[in-house]
Amino acid sequence: MSFSYVRDHMVEPRPAPVNTAGPIAWARRNLFATPSDSLMTILAIVLLIWAIPPIYGFVAPNFLGGDAVPPGGIVEECRLETAGACWAYISARMSFFIYGFYPAEEYWRPNLVFALGALLIVPLLIPRVPFKRTNAILFFVVYPVICFYLLNGGVLGMRPVPTEQWGGLLVTLIISLVGIICSIPIGILLALGRQSKLPIIKTLCVMFIELWRAVPLITVLFMASVMLPLFMPQGTTVDKLLRALVGVTLFSSAYLAEVVRGGLQALPRGQYEAASSLGLSYWKSMWFIILPQALKHVIPGIVNSFIALFKDTSLVSIVGIFDLLNTVQAASSDIEWSSPTQAITGYLFAGMVFWVFCFAMSRYSIWMERRLDTGHKG
């Protein structure tokens, strides 16, 4: 006996059953899937109910139902026993947190630096905007020069402002931007050098990377500010900020080199071979074939390094540079604004500023990663 079966019409797709779609199904699947899940969900809700109101009460200003003193308030309000965060203090000292000891009548100079920077970096980060090459040259070459002369003065009748007077968010941004931008090329070269077949180059790169990775940044900064002048010939001085910049850059480039090396090693050998077989020289195959792919693979690691670098800039305070955190710390002993919540409000503010920048970097990198994804298939 034999069977034959040929389907002559296809079954139409039907909508999913109600208990697999919609908010109730979502909650059941993600929050109450098992008894222990339900328990965890309930515990988490209790914890949130317990924690959120006091935090909100401390942070939110009085017109939003909290106990905090809003910007523009007076110090007496902050001294009340029931007062929350003293935002009035932050707004009153804001210019100190942004510019440090930069002379107030010259604030237009850092302001111009901020404005120019924003004007150049925003189109650089948006892929759709044209003139990328010009934009990049302006930002990476012209902008730093303009910034230096604007801030430092001494030209075009601008009065000189020594770097000791620079401070606050301005210095934090300068150190992290210079560190990030300069450590990329150095890190890439170190990573390539570490993979080199030439023994001397390879050894030098390995030694450099291992040396900087094995030393804490604080030590590097101390060495730069205390030890370095001892080795220099008498009478020569190198600017303190510049020394910190060099220290931070070299430190971060060693870390970056290891991240990039991971990307280089993850590429299949076939990519190197295909580039070679087409006659591309070492540098051309690196530039066109290897690095674009390797760097794309390690964007999360690179941004991780940048975020770490951004936060590590606060360590320069120990060599007497007034970055954002150091200005906050210095202002917290200000008698005029002394109140029970003065210090904690300052640190909250500093924490929020750091968080905003780091979170923005993180989001941007995730977005960039998705955009660059062309479907990894060899």
Partner 1 sequence: MSDMSSHSAEERTVNTSQMKVSDTEVAIDVVGMHKWYGDFHVLRDIDLKVMRGERIVIAGPSGSGKSTLIRCMNRLEEHQQGQIIVNGVELTADLKRIDEVRREVGMVFQHFNLFPHLTILQNLTLAPIWVRGIPQAEAEATAMHYLERVKIPEQANKFPGQLSGGQQQRVAIARSLCMQPKIMLFDEPTSALDPEMVKEVLEVMISLAEEGMTMLCVTHEMGFARQVANRVIFMDQGQIIEQNDPETFFSNPQHERTKLFLSQILH
Where does this chain bind partner 1 (CB under 8 A)? 268, 270-271, 273-281, 284, 288-289, 292-293, 296, 372, 374-378
Residue among 162 and 268 whose Cβ is closer to partner 1: 268
Q: Which residue lies nearer to partner 1 by CB, 270 or 300?
A: 270
Output the smallest distance, CB 287 to partner 1, in A. 9
CB of 378 to partner 1, least distance (A): 6
Closest CA to 299 of 357, 378, 373, 194: 373
In terms of CB distance, is 54 or 268 closer to partner 1?
268
The span from the CA of 308 to the CA of 326, in Å, is 18
| Least CB distance to partner 1 at residue 278 (A) | 4
Q: Whole-number minimum distance, CB 19 to partner 1, in Å? A: 37
What would the two tokens of residue 122 be? 């925003």
* CA–CA gap between residue 201 and residue 372 (Å, rounded): 32
Token pair belonging to 171: 């210095």
Instruction: Tell me how far, at minimum, the Cβ of 131 lies from partner 1, in Å.
Output: 19
Toward partner 1, which CB reaches closer, 162 or 292?
292
Task: Kindly report the backbone phi and psi dihedral angles of residue 105, in degrees, each rounded to the nearest multiple of 5, phi listed first.
Answer: -70, -10
User: Smaller CB distance to partner 1: residue 342 or 365?
Assistant: 365
The angle at the Cα of 82, spanning 329 to 339, to the nearest 5 degrees, equals 30
Element (H, E) at 254: helix 240-266
Amino acid at 341: T
In the complex, what is the shortest distance from the CB of residue 189 to partner 1, in angstroms, rounded to a whole number?
20
Residue 258 to residue 251: CA distance in whole angstroms: 12
Q: Which of 165, 138, 148 is nearest to 113 (CA)?
A: 148
Q: How far is the CB of 259 from partner 1 (least distance, A)?
A: 18
Compare residues 14 and 377 and give the one whose CB is closer to partner 1: 377
Is residue 86 within 8 A of residue 71, CB to CB? The reply is no
Question: Distance (Å, rounded) from C-alpha 117 to C-alpha 138?
Answer: 10
Nearest approach in angstroms of CB 296 to partner 1 is 7
* Pair of tokens at residue 233: 């010939």
Which pair of structure tokens corresponds to residue 324?
A: 């954002």
- Measured from the CB atom, is 107 or 287 closer to partner 1? 287
Nearer to partner 1, 293 or 332 (CB): 293
For residues 346 and 331, the answer to whether their CB atoms sit within 8 Å is yes
Decide if 204 contacts 193 (C-beta within 8 A). Answer: yes
**β-bridge mates for residue 100, sequence order:** 166
Please tell me the distance from the alpha carbon of residue 306 to that of residue 370, in angstroms, as a whole number: 19
